[in-house]
């Protein structure tokens, strides 16, 4: 699991960002989708991202927001990567790539498994993330369909991951990487420095 890509998402403080980077995370995520306990402004994300080394991705997370607004916010925040976590079409991913961003497209595992093969093939040319139905809620999902037919490209596993279960799930499902938010929190939206370190170490054992 040493090469497992690890993303710590929903960060809001310099201490949490530093803990993720120091532990060896490959990416840190900032949530721009409105209305949640982890939502940050572009100004705060830009400030937090200034302390992130060049080799670590800074990811802006959006959900069903107009693509023009997404690009404007991502540029203002100076993130390297945009993650779309709603019903956005593949055309939005292509626009983001054309604007110079790396991309991630999140799906619920159930929705992804139900996609027609040709549609899956289009998404699998890029990077995808498979999550629970309610992202950020810390809820796991039935991964049997994914285990039977995993994505063919680069994909991240999310949804209910914790320091205690991430190693087993990586060994079982063999994703390229993992993404965590609620699983490293002491309360909803509040990151726990020790849990961040424990998670990264468990994922990369």
- Enzyme catalytic residues: 9, 131
What's the farthest any 2 CA atoms get from each other in the chain?
43
Instruction: Give the three-state DSSP class for 161.
Output: coil
Asked if 92 contacts 99 with a C-beta cutoff of 8 angstroms, the reply is no
Residues 79-113 as b/e (b if ≥16 CB within 10 A, e otherwise) read bbbbbbbeebeeebbebbeeeebbbbbbbbbeebb
Q: Which helix (H) or strand (E) holds 105?
A: strand 102-108
Nearest to 160 by CA among 175, 180, 133: 180
Q: Regarding beta strands 190-191 and 57-62, do their DSSP bridges make them parallel or antiparallel, or are they unpaired?
A: unpaired
DSSP codes joined into one string, 38-85: TB--HHHHHHHHTTS-TTSEEEEEESS--HHHHHHHHHHHT-SEEEE-
Instruction: Report residue 100 as tokens.
Output: 């110079």
């Amino acid at each position: 699991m040493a090469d497992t890509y690890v993303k710590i998402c929903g960060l809001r403080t310099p201490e949490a960002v530093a803990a993720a980077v120091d532990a060896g995370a490959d990416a840190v995520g900032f949530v721009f989708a409105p209305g949640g306990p982890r939502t940050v402004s572009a100004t705060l994300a830009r400030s937090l991202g200034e302390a992130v080394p060049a080799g670590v991705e800074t990811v802006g997370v959006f959900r069903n927001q107009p693509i023009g607004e997404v690009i404007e916010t991502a540029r203002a925040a100076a993130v390297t990567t945009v993650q779309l976590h709603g019903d956005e079409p593949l055309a939005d991913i292509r626009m983001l790539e054309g604007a110079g961003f790396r991309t991630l497209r999140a799906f619920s595992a159930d929705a992804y498994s139900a996609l027609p093969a040709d549609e899956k093939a289009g998404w699998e040319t890029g990077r995808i993330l498979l999550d629970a139905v309610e992202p950020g809620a810390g809820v796991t999902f039935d991964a049997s369909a994914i285990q039977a037919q995993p994505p063919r490209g680069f994909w991240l596993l999310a949804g209910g991951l914790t320091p205690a279960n991430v190693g087993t799930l990586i060994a079982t499902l063999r994703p390229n990487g993992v993404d965590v938010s609620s699983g490293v929190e002491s309360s909803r939206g509040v990151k726990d420095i020790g849990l961040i370190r424990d998670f990264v170490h468990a994922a990369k054992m």
